[in-house]
Amino acid sequence: MVLSHSCRTERTYVKQLQELVEIYIKPGSAAVNLISSVGSAKETVVPAAERKIVFGGIESLFSFHKESFLPALEQAAAPLIKSPKDADVDGKLSMDVARNVGNIFVRHAAFMKMYSTYIKYVALAFRFIFASNPNGSNFDNSIQRVSYWGSDKSTPGTSTPGALSPSSSTAQLAAMTMTMGISANPGALAETATSGLPTLSASQKKRIKNYLKRCKLNPRHSQLNLEGYLLLPVQRIPRYKMMVSRRLNCRQSI
């Protein structure tokens, strides 16, 4: 059943967002005591500026889907999913459920706008990074910054092996921006993304590398890498579009 599949994939999506939050974001926000000759200070495992670039918006998306969207979707779908196969002979139940599922998207439309901001910056960042860049501009964004964390370079720049390939990721993200009607000036975006970002110190990079290793060893970690986790919200939007289209087709065929 299509609706049952939609609920199942939504649960999987929420589970994966939860993994990203609990395996990467929360440990990265943990305090680290730094003692120097001048005095002592507190810093997090992953500096706040770095977390904002890489994980910005993820926790809000997770909270929204876990606490609001998924429960609403399951509640709307329950009458059809739990009913006997012959309970919808006249199609009335399917029509009612399709209407209720559509209303969920209407009620939560304002929250769905969070995706627009998230995708705009990630997508345009990809398009800028892999475009011709003879001056070697250090354009920092979530995916490139993750590559920088794991590299041996002293300054952010070229992506390292293991990052998502430009051929697949850039095409996917560029298509997403056109689908959502997002437009922006990549040059202006680059300036915003890179402004005020310090180069990580050797000790910070060492700490972040160790942190990434610990994250990957977490028994709850799926086969996705960090870049894959960060692309989950980008990949989810077309599925919501498909979900709504199917509900509309269901109503029109009744």
Amino acid at residue number 80: L
Number of domains in the chain: 1
Mean pLDDT of 40-61: 84
Please give the residue that has the higher pLDDT: either 1 or 147: 147
pTM for this predicted structure: 0.75
- The single residue listed with the structure tokens 């498909």 is 242
Please give the residue that has the higher pLDDT: either 200 or 91: 200
CATH of residue 87's domain is 1.20.900.10
Residue 253 has pLDDT above 70, yes or no: no
> pLDDT tier at 10 (50, 70, 90 boundaries)?
very high
Mean pLDDT of 12-32: 95
pLDDT for 231 equals 87
What residues make up the domain containing 146? 2-252
pLDDT for 8 equals 94
65-72, Cβ contacts within 8 angstroms, sequence gap of 24 or more: 65/10, 65/13, 65/14, 65/17, 66/14, 66/17, 66/18, 68/108, 68/111, 69/10, 69/104, 69/108, 69/111, 70/10, 70/11, 70/14, 72/104, 72/107, 72/108
pLDDT for 133 equals 40
